[in-house]
Amino acid sequence: MFKANNPIGLKPRQERHSPDKPLLVSAAILIGLGLVFLSSASAVVGFAKYGSTYHYFNRQFVFLLLGLVCLWVVYRIDYSVWKKYSFFLLVASCALLSLVFIPSLAADWGNSRSWIKIFGLSLQPSEFVKIFFLIYLAAFLESRKNDMEDAKQSFWPFLVVFGVISLLMLLQPDLGTLFIIAISSFVVYFVAGGKISHLVIIFLAGVLAFFIMVQVKSYQMDRFRCVLDSGYSQQGKCYQLDQSLIAVGSGGFWGRGLGQSRQKFLYLPEVHGDSIFAVIAEEIGLAGSFIFVFLYLLLFYRIMSVARASGDIFGRLLATGIGSWLIVQTILNIGGVIGLIPMTGVPLPLVSQGGSSLLATLIALGIVLNISRHSGKKQDFSFHH
């Protein structure tokens, strides 16, 4: 029997019910399929770099076990507890994003420095900022539920805090992750009752900042040009997109067969990371790719269903933000691989190799499952625009 003042926030047993099973099943299937295709996609590059075809698979499996432990722990904690630590999590977000500028910790990858190395492990702090900032934002907007029309009480504080996070990410730069945080934050702000005029101002400011960034960083503009014309560059600037399209196109409707990808033989860069969907499409074709897309849509739908059924504002906003984050990240990854939008380098949730991304996503899903477990309460949390 739990006491009312239980310090870790567990609900009494009689107030609980089963978590959202379709959400849990869709996530589990994506994780399982992710391991299968990661094993296939990374075998060649793993052997070439490390002498083991299971190098990346083994790393992912270790992080998966750690992530599942984190998911279970977070699932057991009442989600409302996170409100008490929301400001601390905001401070932690700024601190994590600042670590990449410390020379002894920083690890540069490609054109950005978004990684740190601790005890030999590479971590991407911005992955954890996704969930930390959403917790802070949900708690902040809940506290301003009666002042959403007052710009001084809601809009300007939101803009200042978001501006600090954005600045730290632009300095890296990590535009893909920033875009995910921006869209999910704007969705949460809108659902909380934010005025459309406020969102328009933020959108226009974001477009201006983005335009300046792509002008300063020429490789960002190259990505846009590659989408419009993949043959414009003779220096290989569109190489990754070209190889992705070859993989997707050669898969046809039914695919070459599991393990039969040709592009994974060191033709396709980041085959185990942000390009893994190209290998998936090559091996299981358009038909199998639709199954993947359906699973992501089901995951998103169930998360948003949990948000609608949540008994309080904080739970509703937090689940909405997590659902928006995961679907936007999925669109950015798949859209970049098939050439609909510029490549951003963001991983495919629950599938791409990457410990930081997998850990952050599983923690977020643990929170959503806890929200679904306590969604029986009925309270008034309607908003007015």
Give a yes or no: residue 148 inside a domain: yes
Q: Looking at residue 16, what is its pLDDT? A: 61
Question: From the centroid of its chain, how far is CA 166?
Answer: 16
Which residue type occupies 368?
V
Q: Is residue 251 a part of any domain in this protein?
A: yes
Range of the domain at 142: 19-75+83-373
pTM for this model (two decimals) = 0.88
Asked whether residue 12 is assigned to any structural domain, the reply reads no
* Both tokens assigned to 369: 């499952």
Cα dist. 63→25, 73, 94 in Å?
A: 20, 15, 24
Q: Is residue 348 part of a domain?
A: yes
User: Could you read off the pLDDT of 351-371 as tens digits, one per residue?
Assistant: 998 889 999 999 999 999 999
Q: How many domains does the chain have?
A: 1
Rounded to whole angstroms, how far apart are CA atoms 363 and 359?
A: 6
CB within 8 Å of 329: residues ≥ 6 apart: 180, 346, 347, 348, 349
The tokens for 111 are: 């054109």
Q: Are 186 and 178 in contact (CB under 8 A)?
A: no
Strand segments, DSSP code E, in the chain are 106-109, 112-118, 121-123
What whole-number distance in Å separates Cα of residue 258 and Cα of residue 278? 13
Q: Do the beta carbons of residue 368 and residue 322 sit within 8 Å? A: yes
What pLDDT was estimated at residue 112? 65
User: For the chain, which ranges sit under pLDDT 70?
Assistant: 1-17, 107-112, 119-120, 213-220, 230-235, 376-385
172, 96, 85, 173: which is closest to 130 by C-alpha? 96
B/e letters for 174-187, b = 16+ CB within 10 Å, e = fewer, are bbbbbbbbbbbbbb
Residue 378 included in any domain:
no
d(CA 106, CA 352): 22
The answer to whether residue 8 sits within a structural domain is no
Q: Is the peptide bond before 22 cis (omega within 30 degrees of 0)?
A: no
Q: Is residue 1 part of a domain?
A: no
Q: Is the distance from CB of 251 to CB of 5 less than 8 angstroms?
A: no
pLDDT at 108: 63
Question: Is residue 366 domain-resident?
Answer: yes
